[in-house]
């Protein structure tokens, strides 16, 4: 027979275990502890990284194709404060006769398509930080991630254990005085999700293309990981060099959110070691078409790592 105090001990251990798995923090100490619970967080292909134009391999890579990005995202759409970020989600099983947006091209697997799963943001408490990746020494105040699953894998849990399972678009945000009208469907609803686990349904229409930078032809791409636990090394990153504008007022609307204990901000991971990984840069140049014809890239022969 189990004594009453032992019941309490078992309950306490189960409670601590549940909290430790479902929660994590962004302080220096907390990030250091991630790998104790999630071994992949100490892997060799971790993200984010410091991107450098000079250290990237510049090639005339195929364009990234985006299907359905100009269509209005189907309802129901929901905006949620999950304590770690703000996420935009939709319920695929309620969609009939309409396909989710998907991407292909670039250095993604030939003849494979990656379907939209959702998007979220990372931002700083102050304007000199917030983005997860840095570009040429600059850390922007916010970065958005649009997550896609390789349709060769039926579910996210399958995709997350394969090196080619996910493709994530990274978009930087740069401050300006005037509001970005395209962001208003999201930013104006942030006060409604101020507290952790608050979620609202959006009754406004939005397209993914409206959230992208003007230049989507220039991007960096490399093999990496999720930037939050479990840090699965399953991501092909595609990061646009041109930022999206956001006003000071809109940026501050993100900073009114709560994570349950404090302001929800500085929710970005420290930079990880690049190691032997290659970073490719697709950048159009003058007279690009003739250059491309002279240097036709066989993407299947490109290696993601230095030997």
Beta strands in 52-113 (DSSP E): 57-59, 64-67, 77-81, 86-90, 102-105
Mean pLDDT of 33-50: 97
- pLDDT above 70 covers a percentage of the chain that reads 87
Active site residue 84: yes
Which candidate in 32, 70, 84, 120 is catalytic?
84
**Closest of 127, 278, 280, 148 to residue 226, by C-alpha:** 148
pLDDT tier for residue 295 given thresholds of 50, 70 and 90: low
Q: How far is CA 136 from the centre of its chain?
A: 19
Q: What are the beta bridge partners of residue 88?
A: 79, 119
Residue (of 143, 258, 130, 120) closest to 192 by Cα position: 258
**122 vs 48: CA distance, rounded Å:** 12
The fourth-level CATH superfamily of domain 25-299 is Alpha carbonic anhydrase (3.10.200.10)
Domain positions in the chain: 25-299
Calpha distance 76→78 (Å, rounded): 7
Tell me, what's the pLDDT at 203? 87
DSSP β-bridge partners for residue 246: 175
pLDDT (mean) for 20-45: 89
């Amino acid at each position: 027979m189990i004594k009453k105090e032992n019941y309490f001990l078992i309950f306490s251990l189960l409670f601590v275990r549940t909290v430790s798995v479902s929660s994590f923090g962004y302080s220096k100490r907390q990030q250091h502890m991630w790998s104790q619970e999630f071994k992949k967080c100490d892997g060799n292909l971790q993200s984010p990284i410091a991107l450098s134009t000079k250290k990237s391999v510049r090639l005339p890579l195929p364009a990234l194709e985006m299907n359905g990005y100009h269509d209005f995202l189907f309802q129901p759409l929901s905006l949620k404060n999950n304590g770690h970020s703000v996420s935009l989600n939709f319920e695929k099983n309620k969609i009939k006769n309409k396909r989710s947006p998907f991407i292909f091209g670039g250095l993604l697997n030939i003849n494979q398509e990656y379907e939209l799963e959702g998007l979220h943001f990372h931002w700083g408490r102050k304007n000199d930080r917030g983005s997860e990746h840095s570009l040429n020494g600059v850390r922007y105040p916010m970065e958005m991630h649009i997550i896609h699953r390789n349709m060769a894998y039926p579910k996210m849990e399958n995709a997350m254990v394969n090196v080619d399972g996910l493709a994530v678009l990274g978009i930087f945000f740069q401050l300006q005085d005037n509001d970005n009208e395209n962001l208003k469907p999201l930013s104006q609803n942030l006060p409604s999700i101020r507290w952790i686990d608050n979620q609202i349904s959006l009754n406004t229409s939005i397209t993914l293309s409206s959230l992208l930078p003007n230049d989507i032809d220039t991007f960096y791409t490399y093999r990496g990981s999720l930037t939050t636990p479990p840090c699965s090394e399953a991501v092909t990153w595609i990061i646009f060099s041109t930022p999206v504008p956001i006003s000071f007022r809109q940026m501050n609307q993100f900073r009114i959110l709560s994570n349950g204990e404090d302001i929800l901000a500085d929710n970005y991971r420290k930079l990880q070691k690049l190691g032997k990984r290659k970073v490719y840069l697709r950048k159009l140049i003058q007279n690009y078409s003739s250059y491309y014809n002279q240097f036709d890239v066989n993407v299947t022969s490109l290696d993601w790592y230095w030997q």
